[in-house]
Structure 1
């Protein structure tokens, strides 16, 4: 029986995560938040199964608590505070990321 190599599986998983990120962004732009949330959950499951880290842009624009795709000014508030950016989701979850002022 032929088995796909681990490298090929990881490559396919990474491509799928990128595609799901694009779909989540497009769905959120169209106002379909439930579909965007579905794509985010699916991408996280793919990453977990293949032991991959999600890309930085994907992690920064998703809420860890409710899996919403965050759009600043629409369902997320972005503030800067003393060397870090604070992103607050509509659900109340806050994420902090450092930056160099």
Structure 2
């Protein structure tokens, strides 16, 4: 595991902890920083990180707090952020 991947994992944990405490602005900063690290080092973000972040407003999503999670009949999970951005994932 490279230094960049270790740093992205650490920033993911910090963003999760900050969002759980209710400090959403600090969590946004951690998400933005992790994305910049991934871009500079040309490594992708882990799936667990991509699934819990909003692409539009960089919020760390916590279901029931700032995100709605629903299942669709077609076999998809729909995650909607408070800003209105929607993501769909197959299950």
State how far apart, in whole Å, the 2-side matches of 1:60 and 1:50 are. Answer: 21
The gaps in structure 2 that reach 5 residues or longer are none
Q: How many residue pairs are counted as aligned between the two chains?
A: 90
Using the size of structure 2 for normalisation, the TM-score is 0.97
Q: Secondary structure at the match of 1:97?
A: strand
Match status 1:26 vs 2:5: no
State how far apart, in whole Å, the 2-side matches of 1:43 and 1:14 are. Answer: 9
Equivalent residue for 1:54? 45
Alignment of 1:18-97 (within 5 A): 18-81=9-72, 82-97=74-89
1:53-100: CA deviation from partner (whole Å, max 9, x where unpaired): 10000000000000000000000000001210000000000000011x
State how far apart, in whole Å, the 1-side matches of 2:85 and 2:11 are. Answer: 23
Using the size of structure 1 for normalisation, the TM-score is 0.88
Q: Secondary structure at the match of 2:4?
A: helix
Equivalent residue for 2:7? 16
Please report the RMSD computed on the Cα atoms of aligned residues, expressed in angstroms: 0.8
State how far apart, in whole Å, the 2-side matches of 1:89 and 1:52 are. Answer: 25
Moved over 4 A (4+): none
